[in-house]
Amino acid sequence: MKLWIKTKIVGKGTEDNPRRPYLPVNLPYSMLDLGDECLVRVSGKPEDIKKLLNDPNITVLKDEEARAIIKSKNPNADLEDVDVVDIELEELARSEGLDPHEIKRDIQVSTRGRRVLQCQEAHLLRVLAKKKGIDISDIEEHIELGSKHAHNRALARLRGAAGIRDIYKSSSVR
C-alpha cells in the first residue's frame, strides 16, 4: 500500500542526523523537501499505514494535491518522480511463490511516463492478478502513471479486502 503524506522534517541535516520526514513507524519512503515540511511517498502494510493515519502530525494527501506540490517545485516532474517500492505488493507476490525482483526485471524501460518503477509494479500486479484470477485491466494505466488510488485498489483486490477506505473510516483522517 502506498500513501502520499505531508509531515514535518526532523533531523539537523548532518551525517549523523540527516533531514528526514517525521514518521511514527519505520517505513520505506521517498521525500521532497519543502523547508520545514516535506511531501512523502510511503509504502507499508495496512496496519502500518493505519498508524500513520492516526498521527496528528501527518496530513494525508490526494494524488492531485501531491502533484500540485511536486509541480510547484519542478514543473517538469510528476507523481512518478517521488515514488517508492511497494513492500506490501512484494510480500503478496512472495506469499504466492513469486519472486518480485525477478518479475520486475522483465521491465527495463518505461512504457508510460518517465520512470520504470510504475511499469515494473504494474507488471508485477498483472502477474500476481493473473495467478489469482483477478482482473485489474481497468486501472492499469493509472497505476503506471503513479496513482496511489489505482495502485491501492489493485492491492485491495489482490488481498481480498475492502482496501484503504476501511483504514480511512477507522481513523480521524478525511
Domain end (from 58, 78, 98): 78
Residue 34 lies in a domain: yes
Q: Confirm if 112 and 118 have CB atoms less than 8 A apart.
A: yes
CA–CA gap between residue 47 and residue 108 (Å, rounded): 32
The residue type of 59 is: T
Residue 56's beta-bridge partner residues?
none
Q: What is the pLDDT of residue 161?
A: 46
With CA atoms as reference, report the closest residue to 97 among 139, 68, 138, 127: 127
Question: Would you say residue 171 lies in a domain?
Answer: no
Q: What are phi and psi of 169, to 5 degrees?
A: -65, -30
Write down the pLDDT at residue 172. Answer: 39
pLDDT at 170 > cutoff 80: no
Local confidence band at 152 (pLDDT 50, 70, 90 cut-offs):
confident
How sure is the predictor about 24, in pLDDT bands with cuts at 50, 70 and 90? very high
Tell me the longest C-alpha to C-alpha distance in the chain.
49
Domain count, the chain: 2
Q: What backbone torsions phi and psi does residue 3 show, to the nearest 5 degrees?
A: -150, 140
Residue with cell 510511503: 42
Is pLDDT above 80 for 112? Answer: no
The answer to whether residues 74 and 94 belong to one domain is no
**Do both 72 and 95 map to the same domain?**
no
The burial class, CB within 10 Å (0-12 / 13-18 / 19+), for 150 is buried
Q: Is residue 15 part of a domain?
A: yes
pTM equals 0.82
Full residue range of the structural domain in which residue 124 is found? 87-164
Are 57 and 118 within one domain? no
End-of-domain residue from the set 23, 47, 78:
78
Q: Which three cell numbers stand for residue 148?
A: 496511489
Say if residues 53 and 61 touch (Cβ distance below 8 Å).
Answer: no
**Quick one: pLDDT at residue 17?**
94
Q: Indicate whether 151 belongs to any domain.
A: yes
pLDDT digits (tens, 9 = 90+) for 43-98: 999 899 999 999 999 999 999 999 999 999 999 999 889 999 999 999 999 999 99
